[in-house]
């Protein structure tokens, strides 16, 4: 298990929201600040009883999303692994490549039949299995 020193813990705690949770985006920021890999964040936060919330792709959390974008859906569909599932990292890459926000990609995922798997933060391997945080 990854252990944090007091400075790393302070950096983590100062990025929590008012409910004591760490948003998806801030988890990436904190990983960088504390010198850890993003994939270790779920293990780190779980060990401190902190939940990661508000997945930018809509897998968990309470972010409000918009309507599906057919162009984004078409781009996602070209990258399906199997059974209309796409890796989190690939979805983020598509957002950057298309010059759209993660919220637009998340809105398309949330409003469609696409499922996200392999969370970059280690929160879940597959949306339907091994979900660790909510």
Print pLDDT tens along the chain (134 aa). 678 999 999 999 999 999 999 999 999 999 999 999 999 999 999 999 999 999 999 999 999 999 999 999 999 988 876 689 999 999 999 999 989 999 999 999 999 999 999 999 999 877 555 444 44
Is residue 40 included in any domain, yes or no? yes
- In this structure, are residues 117 and 125 in contact, taking their beta carbons and an 8 Å threshold? yes
Specify whether 45 is located in the same domain as 16. Answer: yes
Token reading at 99? 């010059």
The verdict on residue 122 lying in a domain is: no
Question: What is the structure's pLDDT at 25?
Answer: 96
Range of the domain at 76: 70-117
> How many domains does the chain divide into?
2
Task: Identify whether 130 is part of a domain.
Answer: no
The reply to whether 82 falls in a domain is: yes
In a domain, residue 112? The reply is yes
Q: What pLDDT, on a 0 to 100 scale, did the predictor assign at position 134?
A: 43
- The values of phi and psi at residue 79, to 5°, are -115, 10
Instruction: Indicate whether 64 belongs to any domain.
Output: no
103's enclosing H/E stretch is helix 102-110
| Residues facing residue 116 across a β-bridge | 86
């Amino acid at each position: 298990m990854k252990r944090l020193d007091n400075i790393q813990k302070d950096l983590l705690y100062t990025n929590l929201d008012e409910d004591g949770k760490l948003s998806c985006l801030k988890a990436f920021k904190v990983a960088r600040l504390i010198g850890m890999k993003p994939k270790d964040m779920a293990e780190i936060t779980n060990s401190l009883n902190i939940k990661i919330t508000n997945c930018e792709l809509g897998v968990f959390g309470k972010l409000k999303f918009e309507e599906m974008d057919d162009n984004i859906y078409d781009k996602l569909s070209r990258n399906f692994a199997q059974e209309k599932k796409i890796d989190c990292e690939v979805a983020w890459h598509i957002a950057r490549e298309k010059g759209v926000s993660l919220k637009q990609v998340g809105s398309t995922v949330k409003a469609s039949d696409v499922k996200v798997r392999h969370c970059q933060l280690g929160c879940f391997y597959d949306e339907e299995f091994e979900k660790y945080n909510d």
